[in-house]
């Protein structure tokens, strides 16, 4: 997988002291930075393991974790502010069935050594990189999906949503090549509307969802 082309630009926001503290002192059971990541693993027994990639502000992750206490969730995100906010929310709400990894998911997948591990993997509204010269930055490439397929259980499900028509076409080609079997839906109702889904709805963009099986 090409790790040198980044699917994100690091934000230059200054973190508050509290946020910096959370990123440096959160317990290892619930948080790690990619440089310390070794592999996905959780010692707790859980009915399902779910991974959300690029969770942004983390509203879906928090709500899903609170509503499914017998599931274990992993979230990977590069956006420090989003990670600090979710760590705060996990602490305030006593959420212990989530582990957050701060860093580039491609690096996380390079380091990971477990396969057939997740029941569900979610990628909601990956950055569309609409300018043609930036298309290479799109996360959901064929190579990336091959890596995702390795960590998904044989009967696991990958769900991807996008509001960008051209990206939806590219994702469909890649999903077809790598997974073969998938369902495609237009404007499917979500259990929880994320920040970027809200923007898409406000700007009247159609939402395409892919679900492999």
- Catalytic residues, by residue number, are 127
Q: Which stretch binds ligand SAM (CB under 6 A): 51-59, 91-99, 148-156, 167-175?
A: 51-59
* DSSP alpha helix (H) spans, the chain: 17-25, 59-67, 80-92, 105-111, 142-151, 165-179, 195-202
In this chain, which of 61, 139, 148, 175 binds ligand SAM, going by CB under 6 A?
139
Q: What angle do CA 14, 15, 19 make, to 5 degrees?
A: 180
Residue 179 forms beta bridges with which residues? none
Rounded least distance, CB 22 to ligand SAM, Å? 17
Phi, psi of 68, rounded to the nearest 5 degrees: -140, 75
Contact in structure between 211 and 182 (CB atoms under 8 Å): yes
Binding positions for ligand SAM, 89-118, rule CB under 6 A: 104-106
Question: Is residue 34 within the footprint of ligand SAM (CB under 6 A)?
Answer: no
Residue range at the interface with ligand SAM (CB under 6 A); choices 36-44, 48-56, 111-119, 184-192: 48-56
Chain residues binding ligand SAM by CB under 6 A are 7-8, 53-56, 76-79, 82, 104-106, 124-127, 139, 194-197
């Amino acid at each position: 997988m090409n790790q040198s082309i980044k699917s994100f630009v690091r934000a230059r926001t200054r973190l508050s002291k509290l946020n910096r503290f959370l990123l440096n002192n959160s317990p290892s059971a619930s948080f790690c930075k990619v440089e310390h990541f070794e592999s996905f693993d959780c010692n707790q027994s859980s009915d399902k393991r779910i991974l959300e990639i690029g969770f942004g502000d983390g509203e879906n992750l928090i709500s899903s974790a609170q509503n499914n206490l017998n599931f274990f969730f992993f979230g990977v995100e590069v956006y420090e502010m989003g990670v600090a906010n979710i760590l705060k929310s996990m602490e305030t709400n006593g959420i212990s069935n989530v582990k957050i990894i701060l860093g580039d998911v491609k690096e996380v997948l390079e380091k990971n050594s477990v396969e057939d591990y997740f029941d569900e993997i979610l990628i909601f509204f990956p950055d569309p990189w609409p300018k043609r010269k930036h298309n290479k930055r799109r996360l959901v490439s064929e190579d990336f999906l091959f890596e995702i397929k390795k960590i998904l259980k044989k009967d696991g499900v990958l769900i991807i949503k996008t509001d960008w028509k051209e990206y939806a076409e590219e994702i469909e080609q890649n999903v077809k090549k790598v997974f073969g079997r998938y369902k495609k839906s237009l404007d499917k109702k979500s259990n929880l509307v994320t920040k970027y889904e809200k923007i898409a709805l406000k700007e009247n963009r159609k939402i395409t969802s892919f679900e492999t099986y």
